Amino acid sequence: MSENLSGGGRFQIGIIALVFFGPLILATWMYSTGRLQPAARTNHGELLLPIVALEAFLSDPEDLKDAQRAWRLLYMNMAECDAVCIEALHRQRQIRLMLGKEMDRVSRLFLHGSASTDKISRGDEDAGLITINNKGLADFLEGKRPSEIPAGGIFLIDPLDNLIMYFAPDLTPGDITDDLKHLLELSRIG
C-alpha cells in the first residue's frame, strides 16, 4: 500500500521538519559565525584559568581556622600597609557587609609581608580579618594575577581552597558584590 503525499501533506511534513531542525541549524550557524552573541559579559572579575588548588599554601590550620568552608576574599600587600592598603582593606570589608545575610559565607584574608600589621587594626572595624604572612603564597599569587590588570586587587578563593578569580583594584565594591552574590546563589559549597 503506497500512498502518494499530496501537496498539503508535503507542506505539513516540511513545517514539522523546520520546527525540529530549524533551531538546531540556527544555533549551529550562530556558534560557527560568532554572530548574535551577547556583547557584554556578566562578571566583573577575571576568571583565573586553569583553576588551581592552594592547599599546599593554605594548609596551616591555625592561620585559617576561622575561614574554613567559606569563600575568601584575599587582599595582598607585601610592603608596609600605607593609606592605599588601609583603603583596600576597608573596601574588602564593605564588600562583605554588602552581601547582607550571605556575609557569613565569606571571610576576609590579608596576606602581608614581614611588616607589622599594627597599623591596620582599628578595633571592631577589622574584627574577623585574618592576617597571613606567607611569602610563597604571595609569589605564587603574583604569578597568577593577569599581567594586564594592576596589582592591589582582591583574589577570590572558594571553600575548597581553589583560586577562582581576581578583581582589579579599580572595581567598585558594588561590582565585586554582584559577582559574589551570583556565585553564592549558584554555589552548593560554603
Q: Which residues of 97-130 are buried (b: 16+ CB within 10 A; e: fewer)?
A: ebbeeeeebbbbbbbbbebeeeebeeeeebeebb
What pTM value is reported for the model?
0.73
Domain ranges of the chain: 1-37, 46-186
Other C-beta atoms within 10 Å of 89: how many? 20
Residues near 41 by beta carbon (within 8 Å), at least 6 away in sequence? none
Output phi, psi for 4, to 5 deg.
-90, 135
Residue 157 · residue 172 · CB < 8 Å: no
CATH topology of domain 46-186: Glutaredoxin (3.40.30)
Mean model confidence pLDDT for the chain: 82
pLDDT tens column, 4-44? 667 678 888 888 988 888 888 888 888 787 776 665 557 88
Over residues 73-93, the pLDDT tens digits come to 999 998 888 888 889 999 999
Res. 1: pLDDT tops 50: no
Whether residue 169 has a cis bond before it, omega within 30° of 0: no
